[in-house]
Structure 1
Amino acid sequence: MHAEFILILSLAVIILISPFISSIFRFPILAVEIILGAIFGFIGLIGENEIFSLLSETGFLYLMLLAGMEINLKEMFKLEKKIFIYAVLFLILMYLLSLLSVFFLGFSKIFIVVFPLVSVGLILSLQQEIGKKEWLELAMKVGVIAEVVSIIVLTLLSSYFEFGFTHRFFVNISILMAVLISLAVLFFIMRTLFWWFPEIKFYLMPGIDKYHQDVRIAISLFFIVIVLLYKIGIDAVLGAFVVGVFLKTFFEHNKSLEHKLAPFGFGFLIPIFFVHVGSSLDIKLLSSTMLVDSFYIVLLMILIRIFASSVFFRVLNLKSILFGISLSMPLTLMIAVAALAHQNRTINDYWYNVLVVAAVMEVIVVMIGIKVLNRFIVKSFHF
């Protein structure tokens, strides 16, 4: 019980002081939370704990819920054909450049999966730091497509490691395809239903609501979908994100829902996730060689995205660089792939730690780098 009290107090202190440290040093707050998590973990104030791990995972899924609420499917379907083609070209280029990097630089084949990973969750945290930008909104839309591809690749990899090319592998893939098709059909049904009976939306989420019915529905859907996907063996990240998209698309009349959900996430659950990521780093194992290798991977991943984002140059001009860099933070997906590869002995202990350090380092480098580059590009080129 004593360890639990220390853990709770440590988390409370980190959550309390992080905004002040962030303001003083002008560091992104999530970078501060990761660093403090690593320091507190190193001195023994934060350690592995089942409740801590559960809260951390919930925090990340909640972040994905909020990220999903930035996407309105009706607007996605109105996406210009040109932008959609650019998005597909961006993905193809990313995977092609990753393949070439692995082939010419001698990395393990697992890096073909690692290098092109994309997650949009942290783009929302970036938006909290620098505000809404045209290139950032486009990054969110393109990132949605890229993340779905990343989750499919991760699911395929997980099934392959667990079952090999056996009957069970193809069963898992069939389940994933069935879930994606079912979601598409469900969205079509809900769109038709709300078109014929729009009053249902206002009944479920009324304008005047003293019982906070909108929040209850959102949180209930969040947990129901996550549990269902866990039960059928599909990554819950997809479920949390889909719930957010569903709420934004079909209950767009409720402008206050996102503002009600965000403070609880960014003020409590999401900081715990970042602190947990920091505490998972074993500072004692760090060496100059490991840091150099981690930075090398971070640099490669950022460069791959900058080159791939050149397809958007006609649309964004020099801001295409910011667009590409903003999609360079696949923190949890990268750690998930590293854990899978390590468990199945595709990579050794050293490269597992390199990937974890790289995943954390990438967030810090990208968050700080974008803030600096954004000011430089706006001032220098008057965008």
Structure 2
Amino acid sequence: MSLISFAIIATLIALAPLLSSLTRIPCVVVEMLLGTLATYIGIFHENESVRYVAEIGFLILMFLCGMEVDLKSFKTLKNEGLFKNIFAYFCILYTLSISLVLLQKLPFIYIVIFPIMGVGMIMTLIKEYGKDYIWLNLALKVGIFGELLSICILVGINGFYTYGLSLELSRTFGVLIIFFIFIALSFRFFRVVFWWFPTLKNLIVPQEDQSNQDLRFSAMLFFIFISIVLLLKLEVALGAFIAGMIIATFFGNRHLLHQKLTSIGFGFFVPFFFVHIGTTLDLKALLSNPQLFKDALMVVTGMLGIRLIGCFLVFRKFLGNIKNVVLYAFSDAMPLTFLIAAATLALQLKIITQENYYAFVMGAMIEGIVFMIIIKLILNYWKKEKK
């Protein structure tokens, strides 16, 4: 039965680019829609094997996101004065989120949900549109900080609702801080090592190699860091993200390796994840309960609204025009993977109900589908000079 499920998803993955080119709808949107349709008409049934592969797809997406993080490029943030702006942006997001939750008398988990960030969908935008847009480059840089902050918050929520205000919660945060310090020191150490022994890089990841040593080394890093964070009881995506950062920082000039990993990820595993996301949406439940759609729209409008306000107040001058501000807000308001991760965690901890979970998933789907289409329409029909 599981092989049939894999065959169905593989078929949908193969059909998605064809339908995307015919309809001009972004490929990731088509993948999610096909997954939703497959579940709705009853040809796909969930099983453990599919969930595991989808989880690997999510982690590979986080790995590829980490590969876009060139730590050297972040030195320019200080020269551009963006560090203070990014800090101010996050302060505005969380202030607006708290105000919105108090005014609307929403559950406190929404304080975390509205500003949550992830770079998964930003990666798909970069894959589709390249890196030549100022708003997309800014979205990636801010998204990286936001994703790390979101991971820390998810770890904190899990610890608080699992252990309460106890020494165990302090231990969880202590482990997280020590882990970050260890990673920072390791980066500095290996930077010195590779500076003194430059041939070591070529030994680890050869320029020309028939045995695919580069892929083997990347796979080793990927699974080792995932295993480390699992042992430390931290958010698993953090391990995959840091493994990708190591590749980008120390082997960023290995363009062939980047192409290989991107082809493997976006050729199967990442589309598998997005199709699986589509299959988690229960259209029958949605159609029988319109309130779920209203709740999903509230999540979507809240997430977009606070970003529009925050971006206009903080990044208006840097981005140069309103078009870039709007594009940035839409690109930043699609934390599909982390929104669903937060909803799943909240459901497991019984912070939200099953109906709330469906609303969050629907909200993530609306953002991933509608916002991607809106971005495409703005780029095509809002004629402004690209900056």
Secondary structure in 2 aligned to 1:144? Answer: helix
Per-residue deviation, 1:103: 1.1
Per-residue deviation, 1:142: 1.4
Deviations 1:243-265 (A, max 9, x none): 11111111123122111111111
Question: May I ask how many residue pairs the two structures share in their alignment?
Answer: 380
Per-residue deviation, 1:316: 0.8
Distance in 1 (CA, whole Å) between partners of 2:149 and 2:83 is 15
The residue that corresponds to 2:123 in the other structure is 124
Distance in 2 (CA, whole Å) between partners of 1:49 and 1:43 is 17
Question: Partner letter of residue 17 of structure 1?
Answer: L
Question: Please, which of 364, 374, 377 is the counterpart of residue 372 of structure 1?
Answer: 377
The residue that corresponds to 1:238 in the other structure is 238
The residue that corresponds to 2:26 in the other structure is 28
The residue that corresponds to 1:100 in the other structure is 99
Deviations 1:286-334 (A, max 9, x none): 0322112212210110111111112111111221221222111112221
Secondary structure in 2 aligned to 1:80? Answer: helix
Per-residue deviation, 1:349: 2.4
Distance in 2 (CA, whole Å) between partners of 1:204 and 1:225 is 17
The residue that corresponds to 1:167 in the other structure is 167
The residue that corresponds to 1:316 in the other structure is 319
Deviations 1:63-92 (A, max 9, x none): 111111111112213423411111111111
Per-residue deviation, 1:202: 1.8
Unaligned runs of 5+ in 1: none
Q: For the structure 1 residues 382 and 356, does the alpha-carbon distance in structure 2 shift closer, same or farther, using more than 3 Å as the test?
A: closer
The residue that corresponds to 1:283 in the other structure is 283
Conserved? CA contact 1:161–1:340, under 8 Å: no
The residue that corresponds to 1:18 in the other structure is 16
Per-residue deviation, 1:200: 1.1
Conserved? CA contact 1:342–1:348, under 8 Å: yes
Question: Please, which of 293, 302, 316 is the counterpart of residue 300 of structure 1?
Answer: 302
Distance in 2 (CA, whole Å) between partners of 1:329 and 1:364 is 9
The two structures have a TM-score, normalised by structure 1, of 0.95
Distance in 1 (CA, whole Å) between partners of 2:271 and 2:158 is 28
The residue that corresponds to 1:75 in the other structure is 73
Per-residue deviation, 1:382: 6.2
Q: Does 1:113 align with 2:118?
A: no
Deviations 1:114-160 (A, max 9, x none): 00000012111111222222321221111111111111001000111
Question: Please, which of 38, 41, 48 is the counterpart of residue 40 of structure 1?
Answer: 38
Question: Please, which of 325, 329, 345 is the counterpart of residue 330 of structure 2?
Answer: 325
Per-residue deviation, 1:345: 2.9
Secondary structure in 2 aligned to 1:108? Answer: coil
Q: Does 1:337 align with 2:342?
A: yes
Conserved? CA contact 1:34–1:279, under 8 Å: yes
Query: What's the % identity of the aligned pairs?
Result: 36
Distance in 1 (CA, whole Å) between partners of 2:345 and 2:267 is 31
Question: Partner letter of residue 176 of structure 2?
Answer: L
Distance in 2 (CA, whole Å) between partners of 1:89 and 1:240 is 28
Distance in 2 (CA, whole Å) between partners of 1:345 and 1:380 is 47
Distance in 1 (CA, whole Å) between partners of 2:343 and 2:371 is 20
Question: Partner letter of residue 299 of structure 2?
Answer: I
The residue that corresponds to 2:61 in the other structure is 63
Question: Partner letter of residue 49 of structure 2?
Answer: I
The residue that corresponds to 1:148 in the other structure is 148
Per-residue deviation, 1:10: 0.7
Conserved? CA contact 1:6–1:45, under 8 Å: no
Question: Partner letter of residue 344 of structure 1?
Answer: L
Conserved? CA contact 2:340–2:361, under 8 Å: yes
Secondary structure in 2 aligned to 1:79? Answer: helix
Secondary structure in 2 aligned to 1:253? Answer: coil
